[in-house]
Amino acid sequence: MKTKRQSGFTLIELVVVIALLGILAAFAIPRFASLEREARSATVQGLSGSVRSAAAMAHGLFLATGVAPVVMEGNSIVITNGYPDASAIVNTLADSTGFSVTTNAGGDTTTFVKTGAGGLCQAVYVEALVNNPPSVTVTTSGC
């Protein structure tokens, strides 16, 4: 008599594989979850670099033409102390999607806050003072 041999996985083998996959997932999920915070932080850092570059470009255009306001990409940029005014800095950027932009009542500070962040996740542009360039500060503690 011939006996038929069955092939396949036993229940114990399947349980061991499922347990191993569960252990791997327990280590991988927290690792991927922290990437969201790093992505928001990198976005704010990138925007601050864009703001610095845009201010430097507007400054160079002002020095080259000697005329204020300057026109960049069809936008009129008000110049204060040789650099873009805080209320005009957003017009120097091609895109500020993902940020809420506010200018303070005095008109000398513009804040770019990353939308979707729980705490302080922002870049702040303070317009230039006499004989000094503007400052851009970044806070990523709440990203």
27 vs 75: which has the higher pLDDT: 75
Task: Evaluate whether 84 touches 71 at the Cβ level (below 8 Å).
Answer: no
Nearest to 80 by CA among 40, 6, 134, 125: 134
Number of C-beta neighbours around residue 1 at 10 A: 2
Instruction: Name the one residue in this structure whose structure tokens are 């009129």.
Output: 76
DSSP 42-90: HHHHHHHHHHHHHHHHHHHHHHHH--SSEEETTEEE-EETTEE-TTTGG
**What integer is the mean pLDDT of 32-42?**
84
Rounded-to-integer distance, Cα 32 and Cα 54, Å: 33
pLDDT at residue 9, as a whole number? 78
d(CA 100, CA 122): 9
Confidence label for 1 from pLDDT (cuts 50, 70 and 90): low
Residue 100 has pLDDT above 90, yes or no: yes
Q: Is the pLDDT of residue 48 over 90?
A: yes
Mean pLDDT of 121-140: 94
pTM for the structure as a whole: 0.76
Examine the pLDDT at 2 and tell me if it is beyond 70: no
